[in-house]
Structure 1
Amino acid sequence: MADLLSTIPSPAASRALSRLADVCLRAALRLAMEETGKRYHVGPVASGLAIIGVGKLGGRELTYGSDLDILFLFSEDRAIAPPTGLTVFEYYNKIAEKTISYLTTMTREGFLYRVDTRLRPGGSKGPLAQSLTAFRNYYATQARTWERQALINSRCVAGDRTAGREFSHSLLDMIYQETNETVLAGDIRAMRKRMEEERGKEDSAHYNIKQGAGGLVDIEFLVQFLQLVHGRKDRRVRMPGTYNALCALRKRKLLSPEDYQIMKKAFLFMRQLESRMRMASNQSTNDLTRDPEKLTSLSRRMGYVDDSVPAGQKLLSDYEQMRKEVRSLFDRVLRG
């Protein structure tokens, strides 16, 4: 309600939604441990197993309808003795499967969240729960740039906190490794182009405020690029969350005041716009109509009023100006 009435800023609303997801994940994991333990005559607590939140969840920047991007990992040193007939690996994977089931199963009241675990080593073909050693080996030898980007926004959200801290500490140097800035920029541009072509398609009737040119992903990728470039030497920019990282980069004078203001203003505006669009449609949508007459209700939710210029036209004009500035900045920084 506070978000709907605009009595709290967008980042505060995102933090609240992220805290709610944390609580749900902890409850689902606890229930999964209890049920699986009872089935195999093992205690209700599976020490050594942790859930790592990445992406929007890891950065505490969830919005309405966001998926939960998570990883299941276990510390070999803290793992329990598995039940007879199962390895630790197999037992923890059963708990992971049950946890996801609690979160995603459709009931009469709906479901809690969509869950995405594809950021694990091996992607959708890899085991759900993997050891800390497996993660270390993968990120030391095979991880691609986009996977390093994803782990910038990572934190332990449920389960064994010690195992979660081990994960974070062991992977930091691999995320913020010595890098060729030109190669890094090329990798990020290529991934951004692919996402735009596959998921951010726009036409004469609609913009895509997330994946489209100059949208939220431009800002997120630009911030992550600067973090990967500077984070090895300056630990103070190793900050989960786009908004927090943006502020840290400016504080460390790694962004000019002008560029910072462009990105901050556009990020806050687009995140609020995204949340209002999803509230209005009750769907996880990022498509913004280009017809200002169809934006009257949405524009008023954003605080615009009609005068000599209709509220819908004001919203559309502001968005078009911001996306233009963001894309120009993205191209300038990532093309050197």
Structure 2
Amino acid sequence: LGGKELNFSSDVDLMYVFGSADGITSSSSGRTSILQTSHTEYFRELAQTITNALSEVAQEGYLFRVDLNLRPEGKGGDIATSLDTYQHYYATRGETWERMALLKARPIAGDRTLGRRFLSTIATFVHDPLFGLAELEEVKTIKARINKKLATKSPGLRNVKLGIGGIREVEFIVQSLQLAYGSTHQGLHDRHTINALRKLHHHKLISQRDYGHLLAAYIFFRNVEHKLQMVEDRQTHTLPTNPRDFQRCALMMGYYDSEESHAAEQLRHDDDMHAGHVNEIFRNLVLPTHGTVLERGN
């Protein structure tokens, strides 16, 4: 949502922010009764009401699935958090993956002035700390855990978002380079993955070869993602195991049967090719202290 990159059946990642935990909110109940509630409780209830309205299933369906796990402490944290609490949390306990996620933070509703204050508050946490070899290894460790979880949960299945060489690896590459060079290249502060990738290339922070591979792969995988969700009519990122559904997906992607190969075979070939390119770049990603990311081929 923050990067304006929703797919055909996306959920939305939301974080609720309010200005201050100090004070009382008063509201009327009936003609005479005045209810007084702490700001924290009031905004907690308001956030839950909004979340329910977005995600509850009615006769017409629902608006969005809502994911609130990006908030401090994840599922164990408050659904709505004050600005000061966010600031303290990120200053004392914020992690590398949260810096990467917050690159896409964007105020979308409510008090826009407060939204801008939030962005200003998190800017130091996101952009100022060093992002070097240790942080890059942390990102690669996170991805290794994702790979292991997928292999255990869905052995033999191809996930174009979280799988090896998929969308998540493209995003991790782009976000790692944004964090590594963002303090010296202000123009890299872009929420949109393709725009950020183009800016990295413009500043010569990624080679022409890698830029071409990552751009082509990201567009390809996002297109596959859309088509999968159209075929399945649900949120999924896994290529079908049923040959008929796989063929449908390939045809929707624009492939067609020929004397040389079936559409499904062409889709499988291109998925393998793009995944191989992305994973090679991800595994060999380096953050040189001077100059640019080195070319690794023609």
The TM-score, its normalising length taken from structure 1, stands at 0.78
For residues 246-285 of structure 1, the aligned pairs below 5 Å read 246-285=197-236
| Residue matched to 1:312 | 264
- Per the alignment, do residues 92 and 290 of structure 1 end up closer, same or farther by CA in structure 2, a change over 3 Å counting? closer
Give 1:294 deviation, angstroms. Answer: 5.0
* Mapping for residues 173-188 of structure 1, pairs under 5 Å: 173-188=124-139
Q: CA deviation at 1:202?
A: 5.3
Query: In structure 2, how many angstroms separate the alpha carbons of the residues matched to 1:284 and 1:334?
Result: 34
Distance 1:72 1:294 in 2: 39
1:189 touches 1:334 (CA, 8 Å); kept in 2? no
Residue 100 of structure 2: which of 128, 132, 149 is its match?
149
Could you tell me whether the CA contact under 8 Å between 1:117 and 1:124 is conserved in 2? yes
Q: Which residue of 2 aligns with 1:129?
A: 80
Alpha-carbon distance in structure 2 between the residues aligned to 1:260 and 1:310: 30
**Other-structure match for 2:254:** 303
Residue 267 (structure 2) pairs with residue 322 (structure 1):
no
- For 2:287 and 2:198, the matched residues in 1 are separated by 23
Q: 1:102 aligns with which of 42, 50, 53?
A: 53
**CA drift at 1:254:** 0.8
Alpha-carbon spacing, 1:80–1:243, altered in 2? closer, same or farther (3 Å): farther
Question: 1 CA distance for matches of 2:246 and 2:37?
Answer: 57
Gaps of 5+ in 1: 1-56
Q: Contact (CA 8 Å) 2:227, 2:253: kept in 1 or not?
A: yes
- Displacement of 1:98 in angstroms is 0.5
Q: Specify which of 162, 166, 190 is matched with residue 141 of structure 2.
A: 190
Query: What's 2:8 paired with?
Result: 64
The structure in which a higher percent of residues are helix is 1
Structure 2 counterpart of 1:87? 38
* Deviations 1:19-57, CA, capped at 9 Å, x for gaps: xxxxxxxxxxxxxxxxxxxxxxxxxxxxxxxxxxxxxx1
Report the Cα distance in structure 1 between the residues aligned to 2:99 and 2:48, rounded to whole angstroms.
25
Instruction: Give the Cα–Cα distance (whole angstroms) in 2 for the partners of residues 80 and 249 of structure 1.
Output: 45
For the residue of structure 1 that corresponds to 2:58, the secondary structure is: coil
Amino acid at match of 1:70: L
The question of 1:219 aligning with 2:170 is answered: yes
Secondary structure of the corresponding residue to residue 287 of structure 1: coil
Identity of aligned residues (%): 32
Q: CA deviation at 1:277?
A: 0.7
Q: Secondary structure at the match of 1:82?
A: strand
The answer as to whether partners of 2:71 and 2:79 remain within 8 angstroms in 1 is: yes
Structure 1 residue corresponding to 2:62, chosen from 95, 98, 111: 111
Structure 2 unaligned regions, length at least 5 = 27-34, 289-298
Q: What letter is aligned with 2:107?
A: C
Alignment of 1:17-28 (within 5 A): none
Match of 1:172 in 2: 123
Residue 243 (structure 1) shift: 1.3
Of the structure 1 ranges 101-110 and 265-274, higher mean CA displacement relative to structure 2 is found in: 101-110
Structure 1 counterpart of 2:184, from 224, 233, 256: 233
Which residue of the partner structure matches residue 287 of structure 1? 238
Instruction: Specify the code of the residue in structure 2 equivalent to 1:82.
Output: T
Q: Report the TM-score when normalising by structure 2.
A: 0.88
The one-letter code sitting in structure 2 at the alignment partner of 1:311 is A
How large is the Cα RMSD of the aligned pairs? 2.0
* Residue identity matched to 2:94: A
Q: Distance in 2 between matches of 1:90 and 1:182?
A: 42
**Aligned partner letter, 1:309:** S
Could you report, residue by residue, the CA deviation over 1:70-113 in whole angstroms, capped at 9, with x for unpaired residues? 00001239x98511431111111111010011011121222221
Q: Is the 8 A contact 1:76 1:131 kept in 2?
A: yes
